[in-house]
Structure 1
Amino acid sequence: MARKSPLTLVALTLSGSLLLSGCTVTADISDWWSETFGDASGPPEVTEEFPYVREGRIFQDTGRDNEMRFAITGLERTDEYTVMYYEVTYLDEFSGANRNLSMAHTLVDPLTGRVYREFLDEEGLKYGSESPNQDGLYPVFDGVTNEYVRYYPRLPDEVGQVTFTGSGLGAMTGIPVQDVEEERTDPEDPNGSEHLTPDNPPPSGENLTFANRRPDEEAVADQGWVQSFVDSELASTTRDGDREIISLHSDVMFEFDRADLTPEAEDVVRRAATTLAENVDPEEPVITVIGHTDGIGDEAYNDNLSVERAENVRDLLAEELGGGYELEVEGRGEDEPIAREGGPDDEQARARNRRVEFSYVFDDTVAATEEEEYDDDGLGAAQRNVTWPAPYEDDPGSVVAEGELDGVRLEVHPLRRDGAYLIGTVALTNTTDEPTMPEMGGREALQAGGPEQFNKGTLGGFQLLEPESGLVRYVARMDFGDGRYSSFAEEVHMLQPGNTYSLVAVFPAPPVDVEELTLRAGPFGEFEEIPVEY
């Protein structure tokens, strides 16, 4: 039977032990890293050298897009919460009521894909540093530092470092979690409410502080998972929390309007069986085979056809897998399309919707050793690739590609591995004399028949193509349950003249031996040979 890549699994296992111990890298681990990854930088040390600082220009709802300094000064795990301490300083001329247009503050465990957001009250106001007027706004003065406290759900004990997003200045990786017995004391004489008008700044050198409000029984905090999507000509895989869905394209499996398997189907199901045997959690060995059709034809007929197709796949899968699994069948007909039919790419969209899926809970406890042989006989789209969490960097690296469209220059930085993900960083510059909203493509940037749910947001249309395997990696999104999703990419807003903005999009990571990928950047076109760095 084929096995998961030992490189992937050893990386995951060692990452966990490094984070649990909080120690420096041992010689043996360093030797293994060098042998596995060559000249790439080794696994990061978990240090506690706060503050972690970013500076750059952020989007504001008023268009006064100012330079901001954002510094995380502590991330502490108590018995009840995870408490983040941070400071914000606006470096340019800045006044009036403005709102930062970045995504919500989010902590991400890059190994498991768990995501955590701040505690909010029933009005949507944040716990921690209180808004003086209870409206979510805070007084801001040029060059004056505001100190803030925010509360998150308690991170699991095994999480030693996280990635932070939401400052508007990109992803801040490698932020260490400090275990403390007691929470810090509240600010002694919070002065934020004393300086609410532009003509009443605090004395020179004095920071603004605010009264602290701890979460109570009304507090709620979103928790969820990073949901990723990897596509190929044969199959696609959606990963969400501890559940995976492998989707086989039905046109490989069935003739049009038929439920009997094509001659190719046996090989396809055999490969799927190999992947399922590797990935399914042995503690919950249930595989649901789900049939789908396109929207052509009668609804009841499509329901029956989807069931028949799923049953035929189930029967062949049972022969390949043998015992030890519970195989269930569902037919959902035309009820759950993943691509919009009836448009200019109708044929491709309908082909995408005709599919058979395997849904299961995956096994995340598998251990492997370097010596185990790896036989890539499974579906490449279903492979999980996890390496070390990325250490903190305040520089996205050199510009490796660039292009220009309608007065907007796009600069592409190297892709950076962070646990199970790749962080893509680009910069947009308005080279004109007028504010401009760049056309990032929207639905027009979709590959023909592509799944719309992974193209939300103005960077959502970006994709990574693996030239040798043909696998396509879409921008990830965060799933908070109850149909609530958030794109794991920064939104692009109005670009002010001459300004440059740094933006990130997060993708599922490729295998460790992939050193370059092609970036599909919507209307800016394709950029080949974008390096993947550790």
Structure 2
Amino acid sequence: MTTRAPAAAALALSLLLTSCGLVENLTGGNDATPTAEPSPQTGADQRERPRLPFVRQGRMSIEGGNDVTFELTITNLEHNGEYLMLEVTHDYLEDLPGTVTGRNPPVRMVDPVSGEVLRFLRDSANNGEPYGTHFVPGDPHMPTHEGLPTTLRRYLPAPTQDARYLTLTGAGVGLIPGIPITRVDEFTPAPEPNAHDYIDPETFAQEPELPDQIWYPDNPPPPDLDTSGDRHTMESFVDNPTASTTRSGDQEVIALHADEMFAFDASTPTAEAAETIRACARTLRANIGPQGGEITIVGHTDDRGPSAYNQTLSRERAEAARALLEEELGAEFTFTTEGRGSAEPLAAEGGPDDEQARARNRRVEFTYQVPLDADGAAPTQDGLASARRHVADPAHFFDDPEPVTTLIHNDVDLHVYPMVRDGAYLFQMVGFQNSTLSPLEADLDVDESVIPGSPAQYTEGTLGGFRVHNPDTGLVRYVIRIRTGDGAYEDFADRINELATGEQYLALAVFPAPAPDVTEMTLHAGAFGEVDVPIR
């Protein structure tokens, strides 16, 4: 006699391991698990590191709010010189009462030092399904067994830099940092599959008694895949009244606010502006390196006045900034200047914050490339505060943390956990909890908490209105955006959907890291208000 596995259960496991949902788990792999090592990417952290397996629990989104608890165990992360193989064990700790929605935060593997984000490789010959563990080729459905751990594999591009530890985010488990990469000549062979001996691939009917472990077929990627589309970069934005800095991969853009540098309708820098540009020059030398490089200087205006006049004014301001930079930087650096008038606004003009938005758009930008080996170990202290690079070691894995405080808004409790400094970033984990007796949608309206004139791309999205602020420096750090290619972006901040009553849903927002001596930041949590949060 056989029993049929529910369709909801069959789809659940697949959704977790695609961009829609959960993370995978690693099989045994103890022989390949590295011993504790003292030196991560940047080599400064000498503490002994925890060894795999790493375990986290989270909530899986089920229709009707009847979500279930699952456990994710990372057991192996191997690098064969071309790809990464992530192996995890996934275990539902409760019965599945309905269809999995696939709305859990997407799984990402992050190099926290370089800011590279890696996504699962997909097989175009099998309906775009991820390479790795499957039941029927090209079919996203997989059986799920409550109370029976299932081992799964997924494959990713290898990091472009020599990373030794990666961080996993998403899937409703928050943050799993410090996952060690094991270098191998060949991936550990997957165990011989036995799933078809117990489960019918056409009907998903299961034998009444299953073995202690179910193994599924593995579909590893072939050599020489083009993986460029599965490598994404993290874009950061740090702001203060004098300047803002945007970083994306190896490109940086420093924007000096023109109102701090030029009188109205003028293109001659004020005395204060001259010192600001000299500070910018010191920052450029520190960030690019003494070998020099190419710097593009672009002037911008708001949209008031004739377009031809704005074009001329923006070009003249860019050329004035160039003249001062040349005096400071010398022959190792080359410069290109442009004026773009009002064609590229950062903030939307004409709204209730029109004055601040126009001031944001009046700026002079300096764009340049940062050498790939630049680690930010010694940022200049007399340059622009917004452009200082702060890169620490990858964080260590830690057990489930405890919240430091709870904020309340419209029947939703927001449990705030300590921030985690991980490489060049701060990871802020929060837990949303419904305090009513019925499922509800979290009201995360952030309009009233947005700083007037802020660029819209850093304030939109469910958690996109979150930001962190250092009162001692005045610097504001916005949620990281992920550049996915073809000009597309997505917030590195999890989206929260329907909340079942009484349960906590973990979410993550990621920010650029402050200086290493900063041990606390003020979190602006949208509609929930603000709170000071310690940094691990």
Q: Of the candidates 83, 86, 89, which is equivalent to residue 87 of structure 1? A: 89
Partner in structure 2 of residue 7 of structure 1: none
Kindly indicate whether residue 534 of structure 2 is the aligned counterpart of residue 531 of structure 1: yes
Change (3 A) 1:61 1:289: farther
Q: What's 1:358 paired with?
A: 366
1:392 matched to 2:397? The reply is: yes
Change (3 A) 1:495 1:164: same
Rate the CA distance shift 1:114–1:375 in 2: closer, same or farther, 3 A. closer
Determine the C-alpha separation between the residues in 1 that align with 2:249 and 2:63: 33
Show the counterpart of 1:431.
435
Counterpart residue type for residue 423 of structure 1: F
Any conservation in 1 of the 2:482–2:492 contact (CA below 8 Å)? Answer: yes
Matches within 5 A, 1:458-469: 458-469=462-473
- Report the Cα distance in structure 1 between the residues aligned to 2:102 and 2:134, rounded to whole angstroms: 17
Confirm or deny: 8 A CA contact 1:141 1:201 kept in the other structure. no
CA distance in 2, matches of 1:184, 1:202: 31
> For residue 10 of structure 1, what is the aligned residue in structure 2?
none
Deviations 1:290-314 (A, max 9, x none): 1111122333332222111111111
Residue 327 of structure 1 corresponds to: 335
Shift of 1:451: 1.4
**C-alpha separation in 2, matches of 1:514 and 1:117:** 31
Superimposed CA distance per residue, residues 127-156 of structure 1 (whole angstroms, 9 cap, x where no aligned partner): 111253734232223212222111111235
Shift of 1:445: 3.7
Q: What does residue 6 of structure 1 align with?
A: none
Q: Do the aligned partners of 1:57 and 1:67 also contact (CA within 8 Å) in 2?
A: yes
Q: Which whole-Å deviations, capped at 9, do the CAs of 1:460-512 have from their partners, x for residues lacking one?
A: 11111101101011111221222122221211111111111111111111111
Could you tell me whether the CA contact under 8 Å between 1:104 and 1:117 is conserved in 2? no
State the partner residue of 2:454: 450
**Is the 1:109–1:162 contact (alpha carbons within 8 Å) kept by the matching residues of 2?**
yes
After superposition, the Cα gap between the structure-2 partners of 1:285 and 1:149, relative to the gap in structure 1 and judged at 3 Å, is same
Identity %: 40
- Counterparts of 1:23 and 1:139 in 2: how far apart (Å)? 35
On the 8 A contact 1:151/1:214 being kept in 2, the answer is yes
1:344 has 2:349 as partner: no
Contact 2:446 2:527 in 1 (8 A): no
Quickly say closer, same or farther: Cα 1:125–1:202, change in 2 above 3 A. farther
Q: Could you tell me how far 1:522 is from its partner in structure 2? A: 0.4
- Tell me which amino acid in the other structure corresponds to 2:454: G
Task: Check if 1:45 corresponds to 2:48.
Answer: yes
Distance in 1 (CA, whole Å) between partners of 2:226 and 2:194 is 23
Tell me, yes or no, if structure 1 residue 210 matches structure 2 residue 220.
no
Is the contact between residue 292 and residue 331 of structure 1 (CA under 8 Å) also seen in structure 2?
Answer: yes
Secondary structure of the equivalent of 1:57? strand
Paired residue for 1:58? 60
Deviations 1:97-131 (A, max 9, x none): 42432333221111111121111133432111125
Alignment partner of 1:517: what SS? strand
Q: Which of 176, 179, 186 pairs up with 2:180?
A: 176
Distance verdict in 2 for CA 1:329–1:443, change over 3 Å: farther
Aligned pairs (5 A) from 1:24-35 = 24-25=37-38
Counterpart selection for 1:383 from 388, 409, 412: 388
**Does structure 1 residue 98 correspond to structure 2 residue 100?**
yes
Residues 22 and 160 in structure 1, CA contact (< 8 A), matched pair in contact too: no
TM-score (norm 1): 0.86
State the alpha-carbon separation in 1 of the partners of residues 266 and 63 from structure 2.
Answer: 54
Q: Partner letter of residue 357 of structure 1?
A: E
Deviation string for 1:170-217 (max 9, x for gaps)? 111000001112222234134165377686366345334322222247
Q: Is the 8 A contact 1:443 1:452 kept in 2?
A: no
Quick one: structure 1 residues 346 and 513, their matched pair in 2 at CA, closer, same or farther if it must change by over 3 Å? same
Contact 1:399 1:412 in 2 (8 A): yes
Tell me if the contact between 1:465 and 1:473 (Cα under 8 Å) persists in the aligned partners.
Answer: yes
Flag structure 2 segments of 5+ consecutive residues without an equivalent. Answer: 1-33
Aligned amino acid, residue 429 of structure 2: T
Is 1:273–2:281 an aligned residue pair? yes
**Aligned mate of 1:114, from 113, 116, 124:** 116
Aligned length: 495
Going from structure 1 to structure 2, the CA distance change for 1:154 and 1:91 (only over 3 Å counts) comes to: same
Shift of the alpha carbon at 1:443? 4.7
**Contact 1:120/1:219 (8 A) holds in 2:** no
Distance change in 2, residues 1:235/1:333 (3 Å):
same
| Cα 1:257–1:106 shift into 2, 3 Å | same
Structure 1 residue ranges without an equivalent (≥5): 1-20, 34-41
Cα distance, 1:500–1:188 mapped onto 2, change above 3 Å: same
Moved more, 463-472 or 272-281: 272-281
Give the Å deviation of 1:254. Answer: 1.7
The Cα shift of 1:532 comes to: 1.2
Task: State the Cα deviation string for residues 416-456 of structure 1 (Å, max 9, x = none).
Answer: 11111111111111001122111222455421111121234
Does structure 2 retain, via aligned residues, the 8 Å contact 1:231–1:472? Answer: yes
Worse-superposed segment, 79-88 or 458-467: 79-88
* Range that drifts further, 132-141 or 289-298: 132-141
Please list the CA deviations of residues 12-57 of structure 1 after superposition, one character each: whole Å capped at 9, or x if unmatched.
xxxxxxxxx987449xx99xx7xxxxxxxx644345x322111121
Match of 1:406 in 2: 410
What is the rounded CA distance, in whole Å, between the counterparts of 1:401 and 1:444 in structure 2? 22
Residue aligning to 1:484: 488
Change (3 A) 1:144 1:195: farther
CA RMSD across the alignment: 2.7
Deviations for 1:503-534, whole angstroms, at most 9, x for unmatched residues?
11111111111111111000111113x1111x
SS of the aligned residue for 2:498 comes to coil
Q: Is the 8 A contact 1:69 1:89 kept in 2?
A: yes
The reply to whether residue 188 of structure 1 matches residue 196 of structure 2 is: no
Distance (whole Å) between structure 2 residues aligned to residue 367 and residue 438 of structure 1 = 39
Q: Give the structure 1 partner of residue 14 of structure 2.
A: none
Give the Cα separation in 1 of the matches to 2:64 and 2:219.
Answer: 29
Q: Is the 8 A contact 2:376 2:390 kept in 1?
A: no
Aligned partner of 1:39 in structure 2 is none
Q: Which moved more, 1:495-504 or 1:122-131?
A: 122-131
Contact 2:357 2:453 in 1 (8 A): yes
User: In the alignment, residue 380 of structure 1 is paired with which amino acid?
Assistant: A
Is the contact made by 2:376 and 2:389 (CA closer than 8 Å) also made in structure 1?
Answer: no
Alpha-carbon distance in 1 for matches of 2:244, 2:200: 57
Query: Measured at CA, do residues 64 and 195 of structure 1 come closer, stay the same or move farther in structure 2, by a change above 3 Å?
Result: farther
**One-letter amino acid of the counterpart of residue 203, structure 1:** E
Residue 317 in 1 paired to residue 325 in 2? yes
- Look up the SS of the partner of 2:505 in the other structure: strand
Q: Deviation per CA, 1:403-426, whole angstroms, max 9, x where unpaired?
A: 111100111111111111111111
* Cα distance in structure 2, aligned partners of 1:366 and 1:356: 25
Name the CA shift for 1:367/1:386 in 2 (closer, same or farther; >3 Å).
closer
Alpha-carbon separation, structure 2, partners of 1:97 and 1:475: 32
